[in-house]
Amino acid sequence: MFCSGFCRSAGVYLWTIRQVSDSTHLIHYVGETVQLGNRQREHLVQILGLNYGIFDPAKARRGVCELLWKGLWRDHTADGPGRMLSAYPRLSEHVVRYVEAVSIFFAELNVETNLRKHIEGCIGWNLRENHPECKQLYPDDNHVGTMRDKGSGRLVITAAEVIRGLDASIPY
């Protein structure tokens, strides 16, 4: 991905985790970016630094969301960094397996930033509101925002694999 033809492209991306039961994907994160490669590098640094939450990868592949580490960004206490340092040896192996479990789907979108963020939010809200049975790996504290004035269009989505909770058409 860091060397792909899309590494400098703007767009919307999904992190998914393939399910062992049926090889479908569950959405784990919805994001938008001005440069895919740079944004994924930022995510990787945040994961490896334990700023992001670390999910049990084996359970996530079975549709079970179990945080092994909630992420330093969620812990604003003075003791948070010390707890992170203490947990690192126990978590390091899980971190690598967690990164390996994530698949990334990307849609190049050369539109203004507000519209790209709106589309990102529409996908997240559609998952939350219309497919609660498919959002078990999509934490409720993931930020999802849309523009106040909704458009009257429809977002048409295609994917080479089955991504549960991602509709082929979403109003935006």
**DSSP states of 122-136:** HHHHHHHHH-GGG-T
pLDDT of residue 143: 79
Q: Considering its fold, how many domains does the chain have in total?
A: 1
Q: How far is CA 120 from the centre of its chain?
A: 11
| pLDDT over threshold 90, residue 21 | yes
pLDDT of residue 39: 96
| pLDDT over threshold 90, residue 112 | yes
Average pLDDT over residues 109-121: 93
Report yes or no: 151 and 172 within 8 Å, Cβ to Cβ: yes
| pLDDT over threshold 70, residue 2 | no
Average pLDDT over residues 70-90: 94
Q: Rounded to whole angstroms, how far apart are CA atoms 123 and 131? A: 11
Q: Answer yes or no: is 154 within a domain.
A: yes
Q: Which of 19-33, 44-58, 78-92, 143-157 has the lowest mean pLDDT?
A: 143-157
Q: Answer yes or no: is 3 within a domain.
A: no
Q: At what angle do helices 36-48 and 80-101 cross, to 10 degrees?
A: 130
| pLDDT over threshold 80, residue 18 | yes
Q: Answer yes or no: is 2 within a domain.
A: no
Q: Answer yes or no: is 38 within a domain.
A: yes
Range of the domain at 62: 11-171
pLDDT of residue 150: 65
Q: Answer yes or no: is 4 within a domain.
A: no
As a whole-number percent, the residues of the chain with pLDDT over 70 amount to 97
pLDDT of residue 1: 58
Q: Rounded to whole angstroms, how far apart are CA atoms 19 and 166? A: 15
pLDDT of residue 146: 73
Q: Answer yes or no: is 108 within a domain.
A: yes
Buried/exposed 9-41: b ≥16 CB within 10 Å, e otherwise: bbbbbbbbbbbeeeeebbbbbbbbbeebbebbe
Q: Rounded to whole angstroms, how far apart are CA atoms 116 and 61? A: 29
